[in-house]
């Protein structure tokens, strides 16, 4: 079994937002812990979610960890993305046919309430405080 990760961002008209999600995916791939890692977007940017899954399958992946790049859980996390990947309400795992291959999809939690977020924000405040 070969796994990969699909990092999903919302999508935006602002290039910076697209680039940020792509950068996060690239940094995760450099960790060499999860197999191939690809970025995909719900709307406004390419690749879309299905194209991102196809890209991973073409790299030999048969298990995809779907990781939303969202801070908090909202309708996109609880309904939109799960619907897009074929999850029924409350499910976190399903099987989907992608280009004739049966793929396991495992849905991950958003970033959420994590002490590391508070530390990052504190670092930003410290950096700004040094500037006066």
Smallest CA-to-CA distance from 25 within 62, 56, 58 is with 56
d(CA 100, CA 29): 25
The residues with which 83 forms a beta bridge, in sequence order, are none
User: In this structure, are strands 93-98 and 101-107 parallel, antiparallel, or unpaired?
Assistant: antiparallel
Alpha carbon 101 to its chain centroid, in Å, reads 21
Q: Would you please indicate which residues are annotated as catalytic (active-site) residues? A: 10
Contact 4, 35 (CB under 8 A): yes
């Amino acid at each position: 079994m070969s796994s990969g990760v699909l990092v999903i961002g919302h999508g935006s008209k602002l290039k910076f937002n697209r680039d940020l999600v792509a950068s996060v995916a690239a940094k995760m791939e450099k960790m060499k812990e999860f197999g191939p890692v690809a970025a995909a977007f719900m709307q406004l940017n390419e690749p879309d979610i299905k194209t991102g899954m196809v890209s991973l399958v073409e790299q030999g992946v048969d298990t995809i960890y779907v990781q939303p790049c969202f801070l908090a859980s909202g309708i996109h996390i609880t309904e939109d993305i799960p619907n897009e990947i074929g999850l029924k309400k409350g499910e976190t795992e399903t099987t989907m046919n992608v280009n004739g291959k049966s793929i396991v999809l495992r849905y991950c939690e958003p970033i959420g309430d994590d002490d590391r977020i508070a530390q990052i924000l504190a670092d930003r405040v410290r950096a700004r405080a040094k500037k006066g």
